[in-house]
Chains A and B, each alone.
Chain A
Amino acid sequence: MKVPLSWLHEHVHPELTADELSARLALTGTEVERVTHHGVPSGDHFVVAKVLEAVQHPDADRLRVTKLDVGEEQPLQVVCGAPNARAGITVALARPGSRLPDGTKLKKAKLRGVESNGMILGESEVDIGVDHDGIMELPDELIAGTPLGNVLPLETDVLELEITPNRPDCLGIYGVAREVHAATGAPLGPPPWAHEGGREQLSGALAGIDVTIETERCPRFTARIFENVTVGPSPYWLKARLMAAGQRPISNVVDITNYVMLLTGQPLHAFDLDRVAGGRLVVRDGRDGDTLETLDGETRRLDPDMVVICDADGPTSLAGVMGGARSEVVAATTTVLLESAVWDGPNIQRTSTRLALRSEASGRFEKGLSPEGTLEAQAVATRLLVELCGATVREGTLDVARPSGWDAAHATIRLRDTRVTGLLGADIPRTRSAEILGALGFGTADADDGLDATVPHFRRNDVTREADLIEEVARIDGVDNLPATLPLRRGASGQLTQWQQLRRKAADTLVGAGLHEVIGWSWSPQELADRLRLPADDHRRQSIAVENPMSADHSVLRTTLLGGLLDVAQRNVTRGTSDVAIFESGAVFAPSGQELPHEPHLLGVLLTGALRPPNWVEPRPPRADFFAAKGVLAHLLDTLRVTWKLEVSSESFLHPGRTARVIVTPHGGGDEVVVGWIGELHPTVAADWDLERTAAFMIDLNVVIAAVPGPAVYADYTSFPEIRQDLAVVLPATVPAGEVVATVRAAGGPLLADAGVFDVYSGTQIGEGNVSLALRLAFRAPDRTLTDEEVGERRTAIEEALATLGGTLRA
C-alpha cells in the first residue's frame, strides 16, 4: 500500500519526518517496506508563469519562442515545443537550476540558436500525469511568479506499507490515518464521508435500476446513478495523487473510483448505465459456458465458483475482480451507475487466483470488507462526481443484501485488567487502554474488572476476543517497552534424548573420519529408480508423488539418500573436486498404508577418488573402494558400540562382487536385523553420474541406534595377563574371511578374547585358488592366569575347526 505523505497529512499530520513516522509505525505493527519520493526532488525554481507572447522559432518548425511573465520586471524567454503553447495561457515553468524527477538539472540553453531560460512543463515531465501531448494549462487566476509547489502537488514522500492480511481497513489512506493517529497521538480529521450526514434525498429508493442478488457471496450491493456526467481528464491534483499512490490516471470518472478506493479502502465500479442492457442487474454465481470480456481485453471463461453481475445480455462484470468491457465508462458516457458492494473474500481470492487476474479491487475484497463501508465510499464518490464531472446525482440509493442478509451487529468484548497484566507481564493502566482503543475507533465503557470495548465495523473480522483487544493495546502502547523476564520453568529440564545424542555422535564420528556432511533435497526425480536399475518390485520404487512439484527433478519424495549423494558427488567432480567423501543424515519417505507415510531416518555415505590428499610422505594415497567404505562403516558402528557384521548380498546399483548387507544384533540379544547395504557402485551406474570407482553405504539410523547397548560396563583387564598368538592358515579363496574369523571365535570359546585378520596373501607359493590369512589371537580368562596347556587346547580346537573349512596351517 503506497501512502503519499502529502495525502495522509490531509487527515492526520504528526510532526514527524517520513523516517520517524516509519519507525513509529513499524513499532506499532505496520511495517514500512521503504520510503520513496515521488515527483521532483525539490520545488525550488518551479514557478507559475503567464505566456505573454509565443512566436515561431526562426529555424525550427516545431518550436516556439515564448516570452513569459514570471512576476519579475523583465519577461523571460523560453523555447517550447508544445502544440498548445500560445499567448494568454497560464503555465508551469521549470527555471534553470530546477531538477526533474529523473534527477536532470535544467540549465540555461540555446535551442537552434535561441536562448531558452527553462522549460514549460507537461504533466508527464513532473510525474503529475501520463499525458505527453502538451504543456499543462493552469487556472488563469493564478499569479505569475507563485511557487509552483503552492498550487500543484509537485513532490511528496511516499510510505510503502506492508499491510497484514487481517487489516484490510489499512488498505485505505483514511484507515492508515486512523492508525497513525493512534500511534502518534496527532489529531485525526473527520471521515471524508462525514459531509453526507442528513442528505435525506439520497437515503430513499433509487429509480431506474433494479438489482437482484441470487448468491450468498454478495452480502451487500449498493448503487447510485449520476446524470449529465462529462467524461474528461481529471484535475492535476487528483492525477498527481493517483500517480503518487501508484495508479495511472485514465478519466475523471474512473479516476474518482480509484481515488475513493485508495482513500476509503472500498473498491467501486462505474457502469455506463446506457450500456446496461434492460436496466436491470442480476448478481449470481457463474454458469459453465458463461464468458466475459474484462476491461483488460481478455475473454474469461466463467464457472459456478465465480460470481458475475449480469444484465439482460448476460455477464457484464466479474464481481469483485474486474469490470466488463461491454458496460465500461467511455468518453461519450453521460449516465453512470456507481456500484459499491462487498463480496465473499475467499471466493474472490479463488477467482482471482484461478484466472491469474489480481486487481486492486480483488486484493481488498479477498480480505473481507465490511458491508458498512459501501455507503461511506458512495458518499465520497458522490461529492467528487458532482464537483469534478458536473454530474447530478439522482435521488435515492439502491441498497440490497444477499438472501440471508448481513449482520450489522457490533460485538462488545470485556477487557479484564488482570488479563492484560497477566498476558503481557507488565501493567497498562485501564485509562491508557481506553485511550488506545478509542483512538483505533472502538467504543469503550468502564466495567467492574476492566473495559467493555465495542468493535467498529471495519475491525469486525479481526477483533473477536479479549486476546485481540490485548494485542491492540499492547502494540500501540509499545510491546518493545516490556521488561525482559524469564519463565519460572517449573518442571523444565533441558536435554537431548538418547536418540538425539547418538545421532549427533554418529555424525561427529563420520566428521572425525574425514567426511563432510551434505544436505540434499527431500525430493528426487521419478526416473531415479530407473537410473539405479531398481527391479520392478523394489520397495524404493514405492515413492510418494508430490501433486504440485516445482520441477520434474522434484516430482517424488525420496526413498533413498543415494540419488542426492550421487548428484552432489557428480557436481563436485565436474567442478574439479575429484576426491569426495560425504554423508547425509535425513528422512526418506515410504508409503505406510496409513494416512501419513513412514519417515525412516537414514544415514548414507559416499566415497570417490583419493581417500586423502596426496602429500610428499604419501604421494599416491589409496582410492575409495569397498574396503574404504567398510572402514568408515566399522569406525561408525564400533564407535556406537553396535554388534554388526556383513553378509554377501546384491543390489541392482552395486558391483555384483562387492556388495554386502549390513546386519546388526540388538543389544541383549534378539534377532539380527538388516539395517542397510554397503558396496561399490556398479560401474555403469557410477558412469551415469560421471564417477569413477565409488563406494557407498546406507543404514537405517533408527534401527542402528535401537541396537546400541546401554552404558558400557567395566571389564577387568589388569589382574590376569592376556596371551597373544599369531596363526597363519591357507584356505580356498572361496571361504570368506568373516566365516574364518567366526569359526575361529566359535572354536576358541570364551577363553578367546579376541581374534582378527591382520594380513591377507595370495600368490603362487600357496597354490592357485588359495588365500593365506594371518590371524592374531588373544586368550584371556577373567579369573586366572591361563596355563600353556589351556591355551594349547584351545589352539588345537581352532586348528581343527579351520581344517573343516579346508584350511592348512602355514609354518
Chain B
Amino acid sequence: MIERIDELKRAGEAEVSAATTTDALEQARVRWLGRRAELPNMLRGVAQLPPEQRGPVGKAANEARKALEALIEARNTELAGAELDRQLAADRVDVTLPGAPLPPAGGLHLLTQTRREIEDVFIGMGFTVAEGPEVERVYYNFDALNHDPAHPARLRSDTFYVADEIVLRTHTSPMQVRAMEQQPPPIFLIVPGRVYRRDSDATHTPQFHQIEGLAVDEDITLADLKGTLLQFARAIFGDEREVRLRPHFFPFTEPSVEIDVSCFRCNGTGHLKDGSRCGLCKGTGWIEILGAGMVDPNVFSYVREHGYDPEKVQGFAFGMGIERIAFLKHGVSDLRLFYDNDLRFLRQF
C-alpha cells in the first residue's frame, strides 16, 4: 500500500512537472487529486484498513497529497505568470496613437473673461457690481452727467437715438446717477456693460463694453483714486506696474485725469531688449488705460435729495473699455475681431 502511494506520488509529480499550460496542469490535478482519483480515495478508505495499517497509510497518503498539492500550486504560479506575460505581450498597444479624447471644453468670449477678471479685482476691494439699461434716457446719459446742452457727443452723428430723448447709452456712466438715486452714501460700485457709439474702424466698434467705477463717501480723495487704480493695474497687468495720472477733461468729473499704466511689454522703459522702440507704448513707457476723476459737484446736485450734498460728500469715478484692456493684454490687432466671433479666434483664449 505504501509503495502504491509512493508510485502514485511520483507519477503525479512527473505529470505535474511535465504540464506546460495551466489547462494541462488542471487536468493533472483532476487526474491525481480529483474526486475520482486514487490517492484521495485511498485517504477516504483508510478507515476500512486494518487498524495497524491505518496510521502509516493515512500519514503517507496525506503527505503524498500535500506534496502533490504544493507542487501543483507552485507549478500553477509559474505557468500562470508565464501565461499572463504572454497575454500582456499580445495586448500591447501603440502608445503613440492619440488618447481617446474627452469632448473638448468650450470657452468664454475673451471679453467675458476680461470682464470677470476686472470685476473680481474690484469685488476684492469692496465694490459691488450693478448693471443698468442699455437703452437710456438722455437725462441719465448726458444731462445729469453735466454735459452741456450743446455737447457734441449728443449729436446724431455720434450717438444712436431711438426717440428724441432716448439713446443707446454711450457709456456706463448713467448708472452713477441711477445708483445714487437708489442708495445713499457710502457707495462703492462698478458697472460693467454694453455701450454704443457711432464709430467703426480698426480701433472702434459701434458697440463695445465698459466698466464704470464709483466710490462716494465723506472723504474719498484723488489720492484714493490713484491707490485704487494702482491695485487694479497691478492685478490685471502684473505686480511690477505703476500708474500715472495725467490731467484731462471730462464733463462729469473735476478734476479729471487719464490713467496710464507703465508698459508691460518694455517694463516702462520705452524700448525693447534689442534696443528698438517699444511698439505697444510707442516708446513712451506708458499706456493709457482709462479716464477718471473726482465726481463733479454738478453731478451730485442731481441727487442731492438722496443724500449727496456736494458740500458733504465727495468721491471718484472712472470708466474703462473692456475691449481696450483685452486688446492690450492679449495683443488683439483689430477690435472688430471681437464681434466677428470666428471660432479660430475664440479658441485662442
Point out residues on A near B: beta carbons under 8 Å. Answer: 26-29, 31, 164-167, 345-346, 349-350, 353, 366, 422-426, 465, 467-468, 470-471, 474-475, 479-480, 482-497, 500, 504, 507-508, 510-523, 544-550, 554, 557, 568, 571-572, 575, 577, 580-582, 586-587, 589, 595-597, 599, 611-613, 615-618
Contact = CB atoms under 8 A, between A and B. Distances in A.
Contacts of A353: 155, 157
B97 A487 contact: no
A487 B341 contact: no
Contacts of B243: 484
Contact of A423 (B100, B103, B221, B257): B221
B302 to A, nearest CB: 15
Contacts of B54: none
Interface in B202-257: 206-207, 215, 217, 219-224, 226-228, 230-231, 243-249, 254-257
B265 interface: no
Nearest to A597: B135
Contacts of B255: 423, 467, 470-471, 474-475, 479
8 closest A-B pairs by beta carbon, nearest first, are: A425-B221, A425-B223, A346-B150, A29-B247, A475-B247, A492-B126, A471-B255, A164-B249
B104 A612 contact: yes
27 contacts: A29-B246, A165-B152, A424-B223, A426-B221, A468-B254, A479-B257, A480-B244, A482-B223, A486-B227, A486-B228, A490-B217, A507-B112, A514-B105, A514-B106, A517-B107, A519-B109, A521-B207, A522-B168, A523-B207, A571-B341, A572-B343, A582-B341, A587-B194, A611-B103, A612-B101, A616-B98, A618-B100
Nearest to B256: A471
A422 B221 contact: yes
B134 A467 contact: no
Contact of A492 (B112, B129, B186): B186
B246 A485 contact: no
A487 B231 CA distance: 12
A516 to B, nearest CB: 5
Contacts of A467: 254-255, 294, 296-297
B308 interface: no
Given A164-B249, A587-B194, A511 B223 contact: no
A494 B126 contact: yes
A28 B198 CA distance: 30
Given A474-B255, A486-B224, A488-B217, A516 B247 contact: no
Interface stretch (B6-14, B16-24, B70-78, B116-124): B116-124
Contact of B127 (A484, A492, A548): A492
Contacts of A490: 186, 217
B3 interface: no
B127 A518 contact: no
Contacts of A589: 134-135
Interface stretch (B27-35, B45-53, B158-166): B158-166
Q: Which of B97, B104, B162, B243 has the most chain A CB within a 10 Å cutoff?
A: B162
Range of interface residues on B (Cβ < 8 Å): 35 or more
A276 to B, nearest CB: 31
Given A479-B222, A479-B255, A520 B101 contact: no
B149 interface: yes
Given A544-B162, A571-B341, A516 B346 contact: yes
B221 A519 contact: no
Contacts of B344: 575, 577
A727 to B, nearest CB: 31
A514 B243 CA distance: 39
B134 A516 contact: no
A615 B101 contact: yes
Contacts of A618: 100
A438 B160 CA distance: 43
Interface of B: 97-98, 100-101, 103-109, 111-112, 116, 119, 122-129, 133-137, 148-150, 152, 155-157, 160-163, 166, 168, 186, 188, 194, 196, 198, 200, 206-207, 215, 217, 219-224, 226-228, 230-231, 243-249, 254-257, 294, 296-297, 314, 338-344, 346-347
A166 B249 contact: yes
Contacts of B207: 521-523
Contacts of A349: 150, 152
B296 to A, nearest CB: 7
B106 A581 contact: yes
B144 to A, nearest CB: 15
Given A467-B254, A494-B188, A596-B136, A484 B230 contact: yes
B249 A514 contact: no
B317 to A, nearest CB: 13
A548 B222 contact: no
Nearest to A162: B248
Contacts of A568: 341
Contacts of A493: 126, 128
Contacts of A480: 244-246
A484 B340 contact: no
B327 to A, nearest CB: 14
Contacts of B149: 346
Given A511-B108, A616-B98, A599 B221 contact: no
B172 to A, nearest CB: 14
B257 A517 contact: no
B1 to A, nearest CB: 58
A520 B104 contact: no
A426 B200 contact: no
Given A487-B228, A548-B161, 4 more contacts: A487-B217, A496-B119, A519-B338, A521-B207
Nearest to B242: A484
B160 A546 contact: yes
Contacts of B186: 489-492
A164 B255 CA distance: 13
Contacts of B137: 595-596
A557 B248 CA distance: 34
Given A546-B161, A596-B137, A423 B294 contact: yes
Contact of A518 (B109, B126, B168): B109
Nearest to B111: A519
Given A487-B215, A519-B341, A549 B188 contact: no
Contact of A27 (B135, B227, B246): B246
Nearest to B294: A423
B339 A616 contact: no
A474 B222 contact: yes
Contacts of B248: 29, 31, 164
B249 A167 contact: yes
Contacts of B106: 510-517, 581
Contact of B188 (A422, A483, A492): A492
Contact of A471 (B107, B152, B254): B254
A249 to B, nearest CB: 31
A165 B126 contact: no
B232 to A, nearest CB: 11
Given A422-B219, A494-B125, A522 B108 contact: no
A594 to B, nearest CB: 11
Given A422-B219, A423-B222, A511-B105, A596 B135 contact: yes
A471 B247 contact: yes
Contacts of A550: 198, 200, 206
Contacts of A597: 135
B256 A484 contact: no
Nearest to A468: B254
Nearest to A167: B249
A60 to B, nearest CB: 46
A353 B153 CA distance: 13
Contacts of B188: 487, 489, 492, 494
Contacts of B346: 516-518
B263 to A, nearest CB: 15
A807 to B, nearest CB: 35
Contacts of B257: 479
Nearest to A556: B162
Contacts of B230: 484
